[in-house]
Amino acid sequence: MSVSDFMTKTVITVDSQTPIFDAIDVMKQHDIHRLPVVDDGKLVGLITEGTIAEATPSKATSLSVYEMNYLLNKTTVADIMLKKVTTIEPDALLEDAISVMRSENVGVLPVMDDDALVGIITNNDIFDAFLKITGYHDGGTRVSIEITDDHVGVLADVTKLLADHQMSILTIVVNRMALKTVVEIQVESRQVAAIEKILSDAGYTVTSAVLTNQK
């Protein structure tokens, strides 16, 4: 899975000379929390609700309402935007985006193809990607089995076992740890007890089997 598979391709932007109040209106209108700043087709910064809040005078200020509004009306995006923006390429792995967000402590990455802004990916997009990859909203049964005797072909054995019982597999996630391997399988069927029995009868240790939510 790459960044391009889950990024938002229609990106709402502002230019650096946009008044702050106008930028706030754009965020409210589109229900978004960050805006890439683009001048002449080039990404020059990023503005967020956080940067706007930091630039807004606090309630403890000695300025009058008139003075505060005057200052804010004179303030443009260029005055408060983040000029050093961490970006990522569309062909990067989704895990690359997660790693960059974690290491840079950011919740959004503009997606750049050479010098062109082609998308944006946020922490919410990452959450949505996780739900899609795991098949959570496809419905069915999420079954976890613990394998202590991990060997080549073990997944083939498990998938064949379910296929022999006409159980369609939607997703498989494998978590290999020091002393055991945990395999989580999303099965299309909602026959939880039947799935658990099939696997248990074949000698697998089923640690959980639950229904997932279908949209």
CA distance 124 to 101: 12
Q: Which residue is it, tokens 């390429």?
A: 89
Q: Is 112 left (phi over 0), alpha (psi -120 to 50) or beta?
A: beta
What count of Cα atoms within 13 Å lies in the side-chain half-sphere of residue 91? 2
- Which two three-digit tokens encode residue 178? 């020091």
pLDDT band, residue 59 (cuts 50/70/90)? very low
Residue 16 sits at the vertex; the CA angle it makes with 14 and 20, to the nearest 5 degrees, is 75
Averaged confidence pLDDT in the chain = 88
Stated pTM of the model: 0.77
pLDDT, tens digit, for every residue of 29-41? 999 999 999 999 9
The beta-strand segments (E) located in 25-100 are 34-39, 42-48
CA distance 96 to 83: 22
* Residue 203 CB burial class (10 angstroms; 0-12, 13-18, ≥19): exposed
Tell me the mean pLDDT in the region 187-198: 94
Phi, psi dihedral angles at 145 (to 5 degrees): -125, 145
